[in-house]
Homo-oligomer: A and B are copies of this chain.
Amino acid sequence: NSELFTLTYGALVTQLCKDYENDEDVNKQLDKMGYNIGVRLIEDFLARSNVGRCHDFRETADVIAKIAFKMYLGITPSITNWSPGGDEFSLILENNPLVDFVELPDNHSTLIYSNLLCGVLRGALEMVQMAVDVKFVQDTLKGDSVTEIRMKFIRRIEDNLPAGEE
């Protein structure tokens, strides 16, 4: 049951809206907090899921949608809209548990309410040497029929070991 989480997340977003002047700053802050969470969450995820190294971005997409989202949010987004080059895809969330009972007030029309999730994905993937760009491109809170998170592969991060160590 994720209700307590949903409401606690709402309290966090509400607090940030009080703290920051404009939605853009709140969006940034949520992304940053999410990044810090992702960096810590990945360890738990690898330990529990027994998932090994992904060989390509398609495999990564599957692991995120079918294992990670299921594990932490109890939903399984569908994977769509692959770019021809295979470096971009979308996660479609029919239901976003974070926004149950949420309505954006008129004066927060540019708030990306669930932006924490983008940060979580970015932070977690960075820990497995994958730099990605993550953003919401559709959101039921904005009147769209589904919520869509777009993920773009940027580059593989090389392990830069200091000279002399291996």
Contacts and interface: CB of A to CB of B under 8 A. Distances in A.
Interface residues of A, number: 26
Which secondary structure characterizes the binding site on chain A?
helix
A40 interface: yes
Contact of A5 (B5, B36, B120): B5
Contacts of A16: 15
7 nearest CB pairs, A to B: A5-B5, A4-B72, A7-B37, A12-B12, A11-B33, A3-B44, A1-B71
A19 interface: yes
Given A11-B33, A15-B33, 12 more contacts: A1-B71, A1-B72, A3-B44, A3-B72, A4-B37, A5-B8, A7-B37, A8-B8, A11-B12, A11-B116, A15-B15, A40-B101
